[in-house]
Each structure stands twice: as structure tokens, then as C-alpha cells.
Amino acid sequence: MTDRRLHDMEVADLERLLRGLPRRAPSAELRRRVLAVRAVSRRPLARARPALAAAVLVALVALDLLVVNLQDRQLTRILPAPPTAMVAAAPTPDHDLAWLRELGLPDRSVAVVALTGHAVGRDTYFSLRQSLLANGSGG
């Protein structure tokens, strides 16, 4: 049998009544459990993150070096050796690469030339430059 107090209750009273009754709360045990689970689940990832970042960085650097090295070898193989007389008479190569861009070469080629200039030495750099100037393609 329902409490007789509810019989004549208006909607507004019902609202106030429902607001006034004690409300449930989760058990104290749950708080401990939630925070414990959180601590356990976070720790391995938190520890692994710096090591993972370092490993990724090393891998990227290694990959970059590998690509540069392969490109250098490729360029050295493709480009014909410049005539000795030309090398002897050549000015010191400048590293201002604006002239390469003026040839309409894509930035990637410019970058390869720049890297090559540092990596394979003056002669190859010079021969590449000559080749580029001669036919505008760069090999």
C-alpha cells in the first residue's frame, strides 16, 4: 500500500519531495579500485614514452643518413667524371644554391645537390654542377 501522504500530492510537491530524499553514492571501495586501476594502467606507458621517443628519433636519423648515402652513391655513379682540365680550372664551388633554383629544378634536387656537396667532396659536387649547367636536368 502506498504511503497516504502521496495521495493528494501536487506535481510541485512531488518534485520537491524527490529532490529532498537521500541520494545514493558509490561505495568507498570503488574509489580505491578506480584510482588503483588508473595507476597500474598508466605506469607502463608513462615509463615507455621517453624511450619510445628516443628510439623513433634514432630511427629517423638513421633512415635520413641511409637515404643521403644512397643518393650520393647514385649521383656519383651517374655523373661522368669531369675533364681534368675543367676540374683544375674550376673555381671553388660556392654553396649558394640559388643558381640551381634558377634552372627550374625542384627543391628536392637542390637539396640533394646541397647534401652531395658536403658528402662527396668538391670534385663530384663540381661535376654535378657542370652537368646541371650543361643540360639543365641534373641526372
Partner 1 sequence: METSRVLEAADMKRGERAVSARPVDLGEAYDTYAAPLYRYLVTLVGSQEDAEDALQEVFVAIGRIGLQHIRDVQPYLFQTARRQAISLLRKRRRRDREPEVAAQLSWIDIEACPDDDRALAIDLARALQSLPPDQREVIALHLSEGFTFREIASLCGISGNTAASRYRLALGKLRDALKGDAS
Binding region for partner 1 (CB under 8 A): 1-7, 9-11, 13-27, 30-31, 33-35, 37-38, 41-42
Residue with smaller CB distance to partner 1, 9 or 61: 9
In the complex, the smallest distance separating the C-beta of residue 42 from partner 1, rounded to whole angstroms, is 6
Residue 100 CA to residue 106 CA, distance in Å, equals: 9
Residue 44 CA to residue 51 CA, distance in Å, equals: 11
Residue type, 54: A
Residue with smaller CB distance to partner 1, 34 or 48: 34
- What sign for the dihedral angle of Cα 81, 82, 88, 90? negative
In the complex, the smallest distance separating the C-beta of residue 7 from partner 1, rounded to whole angstroms, is 4
